[in-house]
Amino acid sequence: MSDASEAGGGARPTIDGRADDAATDAASAPDAGETERASPVEHAARGVPTGSPLRVENLVKRFGGLTAVDGASFDVEAGSLTGLIGPNGAGKSTTFDCITGVYRPDGGAVYLYDEEITGLRPYAIADRGLVRTFQIARELAEMTVLENMMLAPQDQRGERLWRSVLPGSRRAVREQERELRDRVWETLEFFEIDHLAEEYAGTLSGGQRKLLELARALLTDPDVLLLDEPLAGVNPVLEEKLLDRIHDLRREGYTFLLVEHDMDVIMNNCERVIVMHQGRVLADDAPAAIVEDERVIDAYLGANV
């Protein structure tokens, strides 16, 4: 991985043997300041927002007579990998959906870097820097990995990415496309799926697909990523790779909230664990304390340990 301190320097890292970097970089030197982007792992160097990345207060979501989320409150520390666990039906996915704007909560509030985002549309929330990974939809399975990546920012309305390049002139459009293409290749290489660029997404293994999903989410230039069971159906080799990449990104200042059923993964990778039960937060502590918590053992871990 390249040193984060490089991002602030003059020359962007370029991809060897790819495209026309040398020639066009020289030609567009005056624009370099505006078009320069940090590569996905150089997040910290471009400045991570301050404050609590994500705070949820008394969140409530009902489906008819059923209260799926019943006054959940928690916050997530900057640059952390925080686990969200709990039995099936505890309200984890619904909480994610309320945070990311898929559902409008019936009560409570969600704050992103101390700014309220409750009830905003998903694209507006993504635009402010919070995304969740999405499963590759059927129509995207019929496109190549590269096409999936090129479409990702438009898809999730990555306006932060588009805003970083100049609108208007034809040259600016070309510059913008080149910028996106560079970033796409850097991201594919970071996840070590660049050799799959021309493969149809539908032919990828479960683990490769998860890497692509995370790669796509990163292209929208987020600060906070919500991952709902990112390791489901992933073989052990790719599981380790995915976790390694998540740790790399975390060290760069990205913040992760992770729903995962595999307790070993949670205990070995998260510095903090939030336990949900019946729509509420039952416990919120370090992994070592969680496994000893009587309430957690009764409600969730009892059968597992």
Count of residues engaged in binding Mg ion, rule: CB under 5 A? 2
Q: What is the rounded CA–CA span in Å between residue 140 and residue 138?
A: 5
94: partner contacted, choices ligand ADP, Mg ion, none (Cβ within 5-8 A by kind): ligand ADP
Please give the residue ranges that form the binding site for ligand ADP (CB under 6 A).
63, 66, 68, 86, 88-94
Is 94 an interacting residue with respect to Mg ion (CB under 5 A)?
A: no
Around Cβ 67, how many Cβ atoms within 10 Å? 18
Only one of the segments 72-80, 86-94, 102-110, 273-281 lies at the binding site for Mg ion (rule: CB under 5 A); that segment is: 86-94
Burial class (CB in 10 A: 0-12, 13-18, 19+), 86: buried
Q: CB of 93: closest distance to ligand ADP in angstroms?
A: 3
- CA pseudo-torsion sign 215, 218, 224, 226: negative
Residue carrying structure tokens 């995370």: 214
Is 93 an interacting residue with respect to Mg ion (CB under 5 A)?
A: yes
Question: How far, in Å, are 56, 136, 145, 203, 238 from residue 141 at the CA level?
Answer: 34, 6, 9, 8, 20
Show the DSSP H helices in 191-284 as ranges: 206-219, 236-251, 263-269
Nearer to ligand ADP, 88 or 169 (CB): 88
Nearer to ligand ADP, 94 or 156 (CB): 94
Structure tokens at 11: 């020359």
Q: CB of 96: closest distance to Mg ion in angstroms?
A: 8
Q: CB of 281: closest distance to Mg ion in angstroms?
A: 16
Q: CB of 206: closest distance to Mg ion in angstroms?
A: 17
- CA pseudo-torsion sign 157, 158, 159, 163: negative
Q: CB of 85: closest distance to ligand ADP in angstroms?
A: 9
Nearer to ligand ADP, 43 or 210 (CB): 210
Only one of the segments 18-26, 88-96, 162-170, 269-277 lies at the binding site for Mg ion (rule: CB under 5 A); that segment is: 88-96
Nearer to Mg ion, 92 or 277 (CB): 92
